[in-house]
Amino acid sequence: MQVPRYTSYPTAAEFTPAVGCADQRRWLRDLDMAEAVSVYLHVPYCRELCLYCGCNTKRALRDDVIGAYRTALEREIALVSDSLPASLRIAGLHWGGGTPSILGADGLASVMAVLRRYFVFEPGFEHAIELDPRYVTSLLAASLNELGVNRASLGVQDVNPRVQVAIGRWQPMQDVAAAVLRLRAAGIGNLNFDLIYGLPLQTVTSLRKTCEIVAMLSPDRIACYGYAHMPRLKANQRLIDEKTLPGVEERTDQAGAIAEELQRHGFLRIGIDHFARPDDALTRAAMSGRLHRNFQGYTDDSRETLIGFGASSISRFRDGYVQNLSDVPSYVRAITDGRLAAARGCRLDAAEKQRARTIESLMCAFQADLDVTAPDMELTEELALLQPLIKDGLVRVEGRVVTATDAGCQVVRVIAAAFDPHTRTDPARFSKAV
């Protein structure tokens, strides 16, 4: 079954051009200045484009294009600040991409200087960046530390050479190990790894070996996503030989093997696709019921507002979402002309907010008490849609408490989809549930 990953509700698939710059300005103007926010910076460039990638990114061929993008990013920060009644406090900052470090140490420092000009950073704020291990030099690691980066996420994906060739990402394990050593030597000790299952030529045996090798480097967190093969939307994925992709049962076995292997090495399972050390902040958030889910996956970030900068970035406000233009030249032109780049989004009424709380509760805690998450909604149709899942032993409904069983936790996205009326129109837009 194809269902959303639910890093938001409604998902970006439901955004429309009916919501744009005017909504963004209003929501920015109405922000509570006493509350800190999170910030996301998107850099849509890589030196090479991997075949499996589903992100909004492109191969960077010219440094002047990267420079022009950085200038636009800085200009957007100023434009957004113009819509605020006062300086906002930033409690969390995340660089994503693409490969954000493609801006170079000087480029990253320039963007940070502009952020500091218009915003106030809270003491001890989390400053995270996504990195390609192949490009992590000692100089870059030291520069990141000087900028206050205290968490790095490394795209490992798979360590098997045959799989790496099949996905167009040749990345010897020694490159990953070297990146880890350089980051830790520079004082960046909080490390996340990203892995992917469901890739061409992967097997349960090869993935167990990948997990064993990765665990030896002792990351704090590991996110393991199922590959979403959508060649209709991503031209680079058309170069993947579909005959080498695992089937549904194989994907299920792979996901199970990864969970088993990582837990054997001391990681605790967080939600559907994250694993963390017992003493990690993400684990503590999960144990205390403070786990959340946003566009970066599972997080202990409880801030209601997320301001996104850069092409395709999404901002989350109390009453809705807005997404910037995805086409990079169009984004740069809009910002250069002095216009905000919001191109689409959605507004959240009271009912949609209750659906969002219900789905997030299921995705994070595998349970939703509807009297708490959706007290004003009957949800009779939604509960009826759960009946087949109840018969299959995937979910229990006791009064108005919906709980995924141990087997149901593996497909909690399907359970959550019962509360999402949008999935009943065109489910083919989404990825496989496992």
For residues 294-319, give the mean pLDDT.
95
Domain end among 309, 338, 362:
309
What was the pLDDT predicted at 367? 97
Q: 176 and 301: one domain?
A: yes
- Judge if 361 and 277 occupy the same domain: no
In this structure, of 26-35, 52-61, 189-198, 286-295, the range with the lowest mean pLDDT score is 52-61
Quick one: pLDDT at residue 434?
58
Average pLDDT of the residues of the chain: 95
Q: Are residues 129 and 235 in the same domain?
A: yes
The 3-state DSSP class for residue 111 equals helix
pLDDT beyond 60 at 330: yes
Is residue 285 located within the same domain as residue 354? no
Give the rounded percent of residues in the chain with a pLDDT score beyond 90: 91
Give the residue-averaged pLDDT of 175-190.
98
Residue 432 lies in a domain: no
What gap in Å lies between CA 22 and CA 27, rounded to an integer? 9
Q: Which domain holds residue 192?
A: 2-309
Report whether 119 contacts 87 (CB < 8 A): yes
Could you tell me whether strands 221-226 and 190-197 are parallel, antiparallel, or unpaired per DSSP bridges?
A: parallel
Would you give the DSSP letter of residue 25? Answer: H
Same domain, 136 and 240: yes
In a domain, 325, yes or no: no
Over 80: is that where the pLDDT of 425 sits?
Answer: no
372 three-class SS: helix
Q: Both 132 and 207 in a single domain?
A: yes
Q: Judge whether residue 281 has pLDDT over 70.
A: yes
Is 397 a domain residue? yes
DSSP for 361-405, please give it: HHHHHSEEEHHHH-TT---HHHHHHTHHHHHTTSEEEETTEEEE-
pLDDT for residue 231: 92
What six digits make up the tokens of 103? Answer: 């801006």
C-alpha distances (whole Å) from 276 to each of 20, 78, 128, 220 are 37, 37, 16, 6
What are 146-169's pLDDT values in tens digits? 999 999 999 999 999 999 999 999
Start-end of H helices in 270-324 = 281-287
pLDDT in tens, 66-113: 999 999 999 999 999 999 989 999 999 999 999 999 999 999 999 999
Quick one: pLDDT at residue 426?
A: 57
| Count of domains forming the chain | 2
Q: pLDDT tier at 430 (50, 70, 90 boundaries)?
A: very low
* Domain presence at residue 433: no
Please say which residue of 309, 342, 374 terminates a domain: 309
Look up tokens 């509360």; give the residue: 419
Looking at the structure, tell me whether residues 304 and 356 fall in a common domain. no
At 424, which amino acid appears?
R
Q: How many CB atoms lie within 10 A of CB 264?
A: 12
Residue finishing a domain among 282, 309, 336: 309
Are 82 and 174 contained in the same domain?
Answer: yes
Examine the domain organization and report whether 67 and 206 are in the same domain: yes
Q: What is the pLDDT of residue 2?
A: 76
Model confidence at 127: pLDDT above 70: yes
Which residue type, as a one-letter code, is found at position 33?
Answer: M
> 354 and 304 in one domain?
no
The CATH code of the domain that includes 252 is 3.30.750.200
What pLDDT is recorded for position 61?
81
Q: Do 89 and 138 fall into the same domain?
A: yes
Residue 324 CA, chain-centre distance (Å), reads 16
Residue 344 lies in a domain: no
404: CATH: 1.10.10.920
Q: What pLDDT is stored for residue 423 in this prediction? A: 87
Q: What does the alpha-carbon distance between residue 96 and residue 105 come to, in Å, rounded to a whole number?
A: 15
User: Is residue 339, in this structure, part of any structural domain at all?
Assistant: no
Please check whether residue 138 lies inside any domain of the structure.
yes
pLDDT digits (tens, 9 = 90+) for 24-64: 999 999 999 999 999 999 999 998 899 999 888 888 888 99
Q: Which of 111, 119, 23, 20 is nearest to 323 (CA)?
A: 20
278, pLDDT greater than 90: yes
Angle between helices 138-146 and 173-185 (to 10 degrees): 40
| Helix residue ranges, H only, 149-264 | 161-166, 173-185, 204-215, 248-264
Do 167 and 237 fall within a single domain?
yes
Residue 288 lies inside a defined structural domain of this protein: yes
Three-class SS state of 81: helix
Q: Mean pLDDT across the stretch 373-400?
A: 97
CA angle 225, 56, 322 (to 5 degrees): 100
Check: CB of residue 9 under 8 Å from CB of residue 356.
yes
List pLDDT tens digits, range 208-259. 999 999 999 999 999 999 999 999 989 999 999 999 999 999 999 999 999 9
Kindly tell me if the per-residue pLDDT of 432 is higher than 80.
no
